[in-house]
Every structure is written in C-alpha cells, then in structure tokens.
Structure 1
Amino acid sequence: MKYCLVGAGFSGAVIGRELAEAGHEVTVVDERSHIAGNCHTERDAETGVMVHTYGPHIFHTDDQEVWEYVNRFTAFKPYVNRVKATSRGQVFSLPINLHTINQFFGKTMRPDEARNFIEAQADMSIENPLTFEEQALRFVGPELYEAFFKGYTQKQWGCHPSELPASILKRLPVRFNYNDNYFFHRYQGMPEHGYTRLVEGILDHPNIVVQLNTRFERNQAADFDHVFFSGPLDGFFDYKLGRLGYRTLDFERFTYQGDYQGCAVMNYGEESVPYTRITEHKHFSPWEEHEGSICYREYSRFCEVDDIPYYPIRLVKEKALLSDYVAKAQQVKNVTFVGRLGTYRYLDMDVTIREALDTARDFLNCNENQQPVPAFFVEI
C-alpha cells in the first residue's frame, strides 16, 4: 500500500516508520525546509551550540516503551530540568519547593512546618477551584501566586488567570522538600546530537521517501491509499469555518561571550518584564563546553495568519469551533488526523510518540481485519 504522512515531526516520522517496517511504501511531506517540526535543532556555526530553533524541548516520560524507542535511533544523555525564576529582585527555584518557600518568606522551616505555613496562606474558602486564579489561591496563597504565577500566566496566555481553567495549574507541583527537578518522570534526558538527528534516524528506512519544501494539497489524497495529516486541523479545510485559536511565540535571539545566566531556563513572572523567560541553549547540552552562548528572550502573543501555532487555547469558543471541524473531518475518507495540530491538543513529545505508535498499530489492525479507519484514533 502507499501511504502519505503530512508533516515530518514526531507524529509523521513514527507512524511512517511503523508502516514502512510493515512493508508499505511511505511518503513523508513537509512544507518546511527541515524535518523534526518544532523540535528541530541545529548547531550554531559561530559558537557550536546546539540550538533548539523553535524553543527548548526536554524529553521526559514514564513510558518505558517510548524511552526505549527513542534510544533505538540516537544516544540520549542524562538531563535534569532545573528552572529558575527572577522575582522581586531575587532568583528562586521552580517548581515551588522548600528552598523557594524558605527563601521567599525569609524562614528556615522544616517540611511539616512549611506545609502548615502554606496551608495558612491558602484561601481555604475556595472548596472547588474552577479557574487558574482560584486554584493558585487555594493551594499557595496570594503572595506566591502574585510572585510566580499571575504575571507569567497573563503574558503566556494573553488573558487574566481568572479566565483560564484550573486544569492548567494542576500540572505545577508544590514540593515540601528540596527537590528542584522540574519533572517527576522516571526517564529524563536529551538526545546527544539533537532532536533532528533523532528524527533522521526514525525516517531512515528504504521504504520511506521524504519531500521537504512541499505543500500537501487536499486533492493529493487520491494518490494514496491513506493519508495521516499532522498539520492544522482547520488548515486541512482551508479555514472555511474560521481559525482555531493558538498562542504563538516570538524569540529575540542574542549571543553572549561567556555564561549569560548560569542555567537553561530563567522565568520572569512580573508583568513589568515583557518576556516570559530567557533560555540559554548551551545549558541544554551540559556535557558540552562552549565559550560563546546563544540565548532567546521568549514573548507570547495571539497567533496570526502567518505565525507558527504553538499552544492551542481551547476555551469555550475554540471548543465549539473544534467540534464543527471534527464533524467535518469524520466525513472525509481515507484521512486520519494526528498529532498536536491535527487533534488541536497540547502534547508532550513522549505522548506524541505513544499516540503515533498506537495509531500505526491500530491502523494496521483495522486493515488486517477489514474494519473502517476512523478520522481520529484519540478522543478530541
């Protein structure tokens, strides 16, 4: 069979690889000049630093099969994400932990003392937090909320935290020990030679042809037995019902001779600072040494027509439009929508790979049992 994968990021590469290994002919197309999508990495010619072109990506997962899968195609090095935050003229450790709490309040509390102290700060009258702001006030109280969450969130999402669902904040833990590892996951690391090398390895199969600088047109679907589309769901239909809302990012790139900030990620939670964070890319490869440095100041704003979509907004208006597009997609034959853009969901890399593996296997099973192939293999 002949299959087309639209998009050369993780979704297209992993599904394509699974289908190729099953003996099928696979064409992967991408309108960009490179593979790996927003995970694309490349060496800066002047400094030698491995740059995360579209912003940093840190691999973390509890999924052993996914971890073993990515390690098939490239070597991973240990990496622990330790985020810092500048607020009120000081540098603090994130996520909020015992060091953060003691430093912020000028105390030397033990874990149980800190837990009781934070509970006393919290607004216990909020029994069922519905918004981001209520969630923060309920669990950390007004001072920590103002210092670390309120301004950052307004800059990141372009609206007041009272307009955002509480679920956004549920991903941010508060720890009553000195563990400053941003993630809890069992497997954490960085590909030694960058994410693009990883995706190259996945796509390196005799049954796979990659076509870059190539825009997929909807009528081309007739040339293939099936198409997996990882581009924007609304874009597949030429945005006829309207555009789904996204936040995009602008990067102000600058070089520095030496070490600019001493860490990979520095958040800026205050509204008076226009950017959300500064990332220093050589710290994402701590096993390397570079005199020069590449940094990004990161600004978030609403995604316009020619911008790269990053974060789906998924508020009430967007969800209503999404349901209309899902209904249209379910009427299309021989096309399955996959990945972050194709399903209009925020997905970490490990989840993207897991869903791609499952999608390819379910698809092959549908074909083997002569069952209809759905437009979506996941719940939207």
Structure 2
Amino acid sequence: MTKPVLIVGAGLSGAVIGRELAEAGHLVRIIDRRSHIAGNCHMARDEASGVMVHVYGPHIFHTNDDEVWAYVNRHMTFMPYVNRVKTTSNGRVYSLPVNLHTINQFFGKTLGPDEAKAFILSLSDASIGEPVTFEDQALKFVGRELYEAFFEGYTRKQWGCSPRDLPASILKRLPVRFNYDDNYFSHRFQGMPEHGYTEMVASILSHENIEVELERDFVRADAEGFGHVFYSGPLDGYFDYEFGRLGYRTLDFEEFRHDGDYQGCAVMNYGNADVPYTRITEHKHFSPWETHERSICYREYSRACGPDDVPYYPIRLSGEQALLAQYVARARMEENVTFVGRLGTYRYLDMDVTIREALDTAQSYIGAVTGNLRPPVFSMAP
C-alpha cells in the first residue's frame, strides 16, 4: 500500500484531486488555512435576506467540456443561468459584451450587422499593425469612442495601471458582437449550483478515504510521512517568498443592503475611472429560481494585493514573469510535490479549467504510481 497523500487547499483543485485519488484507493488528507471548504468559490446563505452569497465575488460556471459538466452535475444539480452583464458609462446603461444593441444605443443609430461592421471599421485605428498593448488592441478593433466608454476606465481600476502598460493579450478577442446576443459567455453549458458551490465541494469531499482539517496552516515539515503533496497554495509562499512576492490584484467588498430590487441585474460594471469601484453585484440575481424580497449587494474595489490579502488575479507582467521563472526552476528541484491550481501555477483559471486540470493531474499521478515513475511537478506549467 502506498503512503497517504497530503493535499494543501480544500478548493476545487484539492477537492477534485482528493476525490479521484480516494476512489482509486489512496488515503487522502486535505488541510486548509481557512475555516471553510471551497476556496474562493465558497458561498453562504445570508441570514437577514435569505440570499445565497458568493462570499469572494461571483463565480459563474460555464464550459464546453462534457466530462467536466457531467462531473459537477454528479455532485450538485446545476440550474439554468445566463450571465447578462450591464455597464454604466457616462450616466447611461448599456449591455456587455459590446453588441449590436450597445452600438446602436451608444451612437444613436439603427444599424444592421453588416452596416455596424463597416461603421466600427471606420472608427478603428488602421495605423496600428500588430497590437502590443491593451490600448492598441482596443483602438485597432473598436476605435477610441467605445474604448474610452467601456474599456479604458474599467481597466485602469481593475489593474491599477494604464492600459498602455498592459499586454494586448489581456484583451484576447475582438470585443464586439455584431448581433443582439448579450450572453456574456459563449459556452454550451452554463449554470449555477442549486445550493451553492460549497455544498457541491462538500459532496466531492464526502468519501471514506478523505480526511479534511480546516484552519490548519501548511509548513513543509508537514510533508513528512506522506507519499506525495499536492499544493494549491501560492507558489512563492511554498518557498517562503525567498525570491520575493509574485504580484496579484485583490478585491475589497463593500456590502450594502436594499429592501426590494436594487439594480435589476446580477452584475453592473462602472466604466468611468472617476467611479472608484469596478462593479456592483446583486447576489439574489445569481439564483433566479429563488425569490427574495430583500437584497444584499457588494461594491467591488480592486487594488494591489498585500501580504495579508486574498490573492485574486495574477498580474504576470514582465517583472512577475522573471520572478516566476525563478520559482518554477526552484520548484522543479523538489521531490514528491505537485503544484496545482490558480495559485500553485500562478495563472488565472476558470472553474471548469481548474476541474479539468485536477482530473488530469489525479490520473497522471495514479499512472505514475502504477508505473513507478516520478509524478509531474506542475499540473500545468506556469
């Protein structure tokens, strides 16, 4: 019998890896420094309003992966949910992503799809060849008016710097739809867990071979006695930040309440830089199958992540990339540890990708143990 496995972190990565290994006959111990499971997708029912709250900000499940969709539905019924984001810019409300309705409303026109394509092309900056910066990308594809209304101010607030200092890759695709589709995501499967992600993760963790300990910090000496460690905490934290701290953005949430319906949608972005918050989320709209008279909302503020803050978005600019390379090289010298998940690989990951990689990582480990091979150091190379 192989030695038991230690998993650091009871979020999606740790839970899914733990369940796969437990079902394969491995004994699994999972520890987490927080007082709850499910990581940043933890949800809790607000006593005053009865609303199910996304404690660390909204998490909307969307995927094209049939296996992942079947996996989450084995552990929780997913209810239909379509993310329809609105944005307030210069005192008016528009729908996102920028679509035909947004274009016609913003410019006061009644264009059809082909007319709108030609119109936006006439506004775009044709002098930009291959976009280098975020601003280049936006100006090349949508022109200055739409860029300043919907992208510039929001991006400054979200990332704490000028869009000229961000790579074009952050704005990966043409941010315009020439139809009236306002579904924020384009994946085949979209939904919300009926009773929240925390109960879904609890179901994943419910196995006789899994032991979970909360409010338990990890130190490397904890690895003694275990055959392998799967670490989903911060990569730099594993090495006690010996080369310095990788950069993240964090979020502050300003909670407020409302009797009735505050904004009529789940997410309202604020595109102007002079509005200090990036968006307001009204959580009862994330569960449209429920009815609540009272409401709970969060204003979200983005800022640089300090040592005691919850890290959300890896910055991954040139300085961080150089530091990351040092940590990756250091990690590859380790024995019997695999770095997984958003923090362990210093990448922004959607939930479906997190689950996909966790499933693949577990199977890779099982195969390595069977073949007497060394398991990979990274679930996916940073």
Same topology, TM > 0.5: yes
Residue 24 in structure 1 maps to residue 29 in structure 2: no
Equivalent position SS for 1:80: coil
Q: 1:108 aligns with which of 100, 107, 110?
A: 110
The AA in structure 2 aligned to 1:327 is A
Residue 173 in structure 1 maps to residue 207 in structure 2: no
Residue 332 in structure 1 maps to residue 334 in structure 2: yes
Q: 1:290 aligns with which of 282, 289, 292?
A: 292
* Residue in structure 2 matched with residue 257 of structure 1 by the alignment: 259
* Residue in structure 1 matched with residue 48 of structure 2 by the alignment: 46
- 1:193 CA drift (Å): 0.3
- The two structures, once aligned, show a CA RMSD in angstroms of 0.7
Q: Quote the Cα distance in structure 2 between the aligned partners of 1:131 and 1:259.
A: 39
Deviates more, 1:163-172 or 1:347-356: 163-172
Equivalent position SS for 1:115: helix
Contact 1:95–1:172 under 8 Å retained in 2: no
Q: Quote the Cα distance in structure 2 between the aligned partners of 1:127 and 1:244.
A: 32
Contact 1:363–1:373 under 8 Å retained in 2: yes
- 1:222 CA drift (Å): 1.4
The AA in structure 2 aligned to 1:275 is Y
* Residue in structure 2 matched with residue 221 of structure 1 by the alignment: 223
- 1:240 CA drift (Å): 1.1
* Residue in structure 2 matched with residue 14 of structure 1 by the alignment: 16
Unaligned runs of 5+ in 1: none
Which digits, 9 at most, give the CA deviation of each residue in 1:214-238, with x for residues without a partner? Answer: 1111111112100000000000111
* Residue in structure 2 matched with residue 341 of structure 1 by the alignment: 343
* Residue in structure 1 matched with residue 244 of structure 2 by the alignment: 242
Q: Quote the Cα distance in structure 2 between the aligned partners of 1:132 and 1:34.
A: 37
Q: Give the count of matched residue pairs.
A: 380
Q: Quote the Cα distance in structure 2 between the aligned partners of 1:258 and 1:232.
A: 40
- 1:367 CA drift (Å): 1.0
* Residue in structure 2 matched with residue 358 of structure 1 by the alignment: 360
- 1:171 CA drift (Å): 4.7
Unaligned runs of 5+ in 2: none
* Residue in structure 1 matched with residue 276 of structure 2 by the alignment: 274
Equivalent position SS for 1:170: coil
Contact 2:43–2:198 under 8 Å retained in 1: yes
Equivalent position SS for 2:224: helix
Contact 1:16–1:28 under 8 Å retained in 2: yes
Q: Quote the Cα distance in structure 2 between the aligned partners of 1:342 and 1:170.
A: 23
Which digits, 9 at most, give the CA deviation of each residue in 1:54-101, with x for residues without a partner? Answer: 000000000000000000001000000000000111100000000000
Q: Quote the Cα distance in structure 2 between the aligned partners of 1:97 and 1:251.
A: 29
* Residue in structure 1 matched with residue 305 of structure 2 by the alignment: 303
Residue 64 in structure 1 maps to residue 66 in structure 2: yes
Contact 2:358–2:379 under 8 Å retained in 1: no
Aligned residues with identical type, % of pairs:
70
Equivalent position SS for 1:140: helix
Equivalent position SS for 2:128: coil
Q: Quote the Cα distance in structure 1 between the aligned partners of 2:95 and 2:261.
A: 19
The AA in structure 2 aligned to 1:345 is R
Contact 1:93–1:100 under 8 Å retained in 2: yes
Deviates more, 1:366-375 or 1:4-13: 366-375
Which digits, 9 at most, give the CA deviation of each residue in 1:14-72, with x for residues without a partner? Answer: 00000000001000100000000000000001110000000000000000000000000
